[in-house]
Chains A and B, each alone.
Chain A
């Protein structure tokens, strides 16, 4: 097989593998892989950020 192709596949696999590995722990922490009944995940949204987004709808003077 072509050496350039092997290098390209290796680099892509390396980065994609890192990304997959990086995203597994959050699922574990959220309890998705444990035997809980409810499927799916709910992001824990930062309270300050939530308020920031609520404020986006307000007029300047209301803030």
Chain B
């Protein structure tokens, strides 16, 4: 047993050594690779934090709605508060690489679909990545399902075009996109150009008439009004519905009554009970802020606006969008790069998927070996593996047929939700909320609703299955 644990620790060092070697060798080959290494090392930090804090939105809401345990939800909200604080510093300093996305009811609907999917599959987008690093086969299937769904959905037209409202079609055509982008064909293209792009990008600072980059906009608008107040409200709701039960019961038994002061004590105890997730959230927040700083610094150094220019200088211009760009968010993101690597494979197999907005106009399908965001995701899995191996929590788990089916169905729903909401629980919720984007909360509310529906459905499914099995035994 001890020998096994020692072996796992050696493997952890081998993985970290591998990433160090990749960084050193590529940098020695060409300076520009440092841009990709920046994504690599921050991805590794995210992976380590996620695994340490068990940072999974699906588990968090499943625990809350199914068994009334708020620990992880509280941890996630605390993490959001920390990231919000760091983001405000970064924004007020003018280093932020964050751009708000168009907000509207579509964000909420997307979140709803995503929320149902994450409960079905047993892991959100970020949770599946760190669980894959722990050797979980189901999580790998979820990632595959999200990736294939997004990549296909981005280019599907045909009969889906009949479901596009005429107003979306007309509005999409009026955007005058380059001729190589066939904006009139494809459901997602017309949804994006004909509907989503017509919505405003709204931050809490903007709503208050402040500039995002000003100290008052970043701290009073985006942080206080956009993160602290809603997060505290949400935590208060969690405390009064789920968190206070055991605490109040004990208090009534010993003291006979509960005062407002007792509730404050109970609230604080609830916050402290999720120390591990909160601590991970603190480091995640700091790392996210530092990544924005580093990427912005490298962009100034190399005189670029997007990694597409780096790839061109490295002599790899395959898969760049029509604007010469690739997906290069400058901060933590999960789902778009998953769609890209499958998009690249499909393109190589003969599917022309560069005539749509998602790949052809915005993100491109660069070679995964040179895709900065793919370096981040791979190292994130590596970082999670390092932590799991060091804590003797790494184990290969083969999926059963039932779990595999749920993983594929859940991954499919998360893939659709991600593309409709322009991101997942990280890109459309965690990062957006922390940066004061109103749409982030809309996605989050939808995601919570979806998780609730998912949990209720699962309860019904399990009870039905058990009843059937019991009936079979009686026979």
Contacts and interface: CB of A to CB of B under 8 A. Distances in A.
A41 B386 CA distance: 36
Given A32-B94, A40-B213, A52-B324, A15 B20 contact: yes
A17 to B, nearest CB: 10
B48 interface: yes
A27 B294 CA distance: 10
A39 B213 CA distance: 7
A57 B303 CA distance: 21
Contacts of B63: none
Contacts of A40: 94, 213
B223 to A, nearest CB: 17
Nearest to B10: A4
B249 to A, nearest CB: 38
Interface in B197-239: 213-214
A34 interface: no
Interface centre among B12, B16, B20, B214 (most CB of A within 10 A): B16
Given A12-B45, A15-B23, A52-B324, A45 B304 contact: yes
B275 interface: no
A29 B312 CA distance: 25
Contact of A46 (B94, B299, B303): B303
Contacts of A20: 290, 293-294
Contacts, number: 101
Interface in A1-19: 2, 4-5, 7-8, 11-12, 15-16, 19
B319 to A, nearest CB: 14
Contact of A27 (B13, B44, B297, B386): B297
B296 A23 contact: yes
Given A43-B299, A44-B303, A45-B303, A23 B294 contact: yes
**What's the dominant secondary structure at chain A's contact region?**
helix
B13 A16 contact: no
Contacts of A19: 34, 37-38, 41, 294
A4 B94 CA distance: 38
B94 A8 contact: no
Contacts of B301: 22-23, 25-26
A30 B302 CA distance: 12
Contact of B322 (A2, A23, A25, A56): A56
Interface in B391-450: none
Interface string B110-142: 000000000000000000000000000000000
A8 B296 contact: no
B34 A8 contact: no
Contact of B300 (A4, A12, A41, A57): A41
A2 B5 CA distance: 12
Given A12-B16, A22-B294, 9 more contacts: A8-B390, A15-B20, A16-B42, A19-B41, A23-B293, A32-B93, A32-B95, A39-B94, A40-B94
Interface of B: 9, 12-13, 16, 20, 23, 34, 37-38, 41-42, 44-45, 48, 92-95, 178, 213-214, 290, 293-301, 303-305, 309, 312, 322-324, 386, 390
Interface of A: 2, 4-5, 7-8, 11-12, 15-16, 19-20, 22-27, 29-30, 32, 39-41, 43-46, 49, 52-53, 56-57
26 contacts: A2-B390, A4-B12, A4-B390, A5-B390, A7-B13, A11-B20, A12-B41, A12-B44, A12-B48, A15-B23, A19-B37, A23-B38, A23-B294, A23-B296, A26-B298, A26-B300, A26-B301, A27-B296, A27-B297, A32-B94, A39-B92, A39-B213, A41-B296, A44-B300, A46-B303, A49-B304
9 closest Cβ pairs, A-B complex: A23-B297, A40-B94, A39-B94, A26-B300, A26-B301, A4-B9, A23-B294, A53-B324, A15-B41
